[in-house]
Amino acid sequence: MGQKKDLTGSEKSKIVRYLAEGCSSLKIAKLLKHDHRTIKRFIQNSQQGRKKRVEKPRRKITAHELRKVKRAAAKMPLATSLAIFQSCNITGVPKSTRCAILRDMAKVRKAERRPPLNKTHKLKRQDWAKKYLKTDFSKVLWTDEMRVSLDGPDGWARGWIGKGQRAPVRLRRQQGGGGVLVWAGIIKDELVGPFRVEDRVKLNSQSYCQFLEDTFFKQWYRKKSASFKKNMIFMQDNAPSHASKYSTASLARKGIKEEKLMTWPPCSPDLNPIDNLWSIIKCEIYKEGKQYTSLNSVWEAVVAAARNVDGEQIKTLTESMDGRLLSVLAKKGGYIGR
């Protein structure tokens, strides 16, 4: 019987099975038609296990080096722990130690995604703030759309797992499994909607105006008094379907024109209080990394979460507008915290 140096994966599995059945190494060699020394060597190597890693002495960090790390972390947002320590010429520190040190003085965050603001945008934001500084915002209807997917944001599927417990299985689907487009508005302490945009309908000027007619105007606006309609100001952002001539003319036929249709500065989602409402709803429907199996189920979750938002929460959002305008002016048109 010739000696073979290498064993295949299937042969190794068979050796383990034969050993469990009580076969000797000699019998296994005959069954697999391998040299006895090859089988014996494999069994000995398997029984030895991994060599224990020799722990190297950890490098101590001085108070002066800690101060350098803190300054570097402030100057290098989103940098890795290795890059921060290398910039301070501190070497020989393992990753676990670097992260433990940084955890006491910093947090791991994702970069905020915002539309770019140029000089023109900032000037228009300042002009908008000055124009509406004396407005009674309790009469403004703030509107916007939100898309919700079956899976929710990837980064939200994290949380603490007890020792000895396994993390729950999370489905992986393209484009978050699909989603639902939702429209809503808030005014004073009242929530208008939410209303669901029909699946597979792309909102252009025509479909947007038809959607408003079937939902907002028929189900909410028509029930309001003439004095309410006279004083209400309608706000929408500058999405192409909103700001087109077709949409503007359609709203004008409903009496929403001129001063009753709020002008909106470009690249300004931070100024719309309904964006904060979307955050409240998403936190509720995606808590604990929840996923959904159908578009109807995620829509039902949105409706249930919206019902749980009380009038005081909405009032807090709409009453925040005076402060937002002052912040825009103080920052000379720059972004404000939501």
Per-residue pLDDT of the chain (338 residues; tens, 9 = 90+): 455 557 887 888 888 888 878 888 888 888 888 888 888 888 887 766 555 566 566 667 888 999 999 999 888 888 888 999 999 999 888 888 888 888 888 887 777 777 788 999 999 999 999 999 999 999 999 999 999 998 887 656 666 667 777 777 777 776 657 889 999 999 999 999 999 999 888 899 999 999 999 999 999 999 999 999 999 999 999 999 999 999 999 999 999 999 999 999 999 999 999 999 999 999 999 988 888 989 999 999 999 999 999 999 999 999 999 999 999 999 999 998 76
- Verify that 202 and 238 share a domain, yes or no: yes
- Verify that 315 and 207 share a domain, yes or no: yes
In angstroms, the CA 126 to CA 300 distance is 40
Confidence (pLDDT) at 158? 66
Residue 323 domain flag: yes
Confidence (pLDDT) at 159? 67
Dihedral pair phi/psi, residue 179, rounded to 5°:
-160, 180
Residue 208: Cβ within 10 Å count: 24
- Verify that 226 and 101 share a domain, yes or no: no
Nearest by Cα to 264 from 125, 115, 118, 144? 125
- Verify that 92 and 192 share a domain, yes or no: no
- Verify that 272 and 319 share a domain, yes or no: yes
Confidence (pLDDT) at 145? 96
Q: Residue 141: which H helix or E strand, with range?
A: strand 140-149
Residue 336 domain flag: no
CATH of the domain at 300: 3.30.420.10
Residue 1 domain flag: no
- Verify that 19 and 78 share a domain, yes or no: no
Question: pTM of the predicted model, to two decimals?
Answer: 0.70
* Domain count along the chain: 3
Which domain, by its residues, includes 97?
63-105
Confidence (pLDDT) at 1? 46
Half-sphere exposure at residue 319, Cβ-oriented, CA atoms within 13 angstroms: 8
Residue 307 domain flag: yes
Residue 203 domain flag: yes
C-alpha distances in Å from residue 292, one per residue of 6, 150, 161, 227, 325? 49, 5, 21, 43, 38
C-alpha distances in Å from residue 246, one per residue of 22, 86, 139, 273, 283? 83, 58, 25, 26, 35
- Verify that 221 and 74 share a domain, yes or no: no
- Verify that 82 and 226 share a domain, yes or no: no
Diameter over CA atoms, the chain: 102
Going by C-beta distance under 8 Å and a sequence separation of 6 or more, which residues neighbour residue 148?
Answer: 179, 180, 182, 282, 285, 298, 299, 302
Dihedral pair phi/psi, residue 13, rounded to 5°:
-65, -40
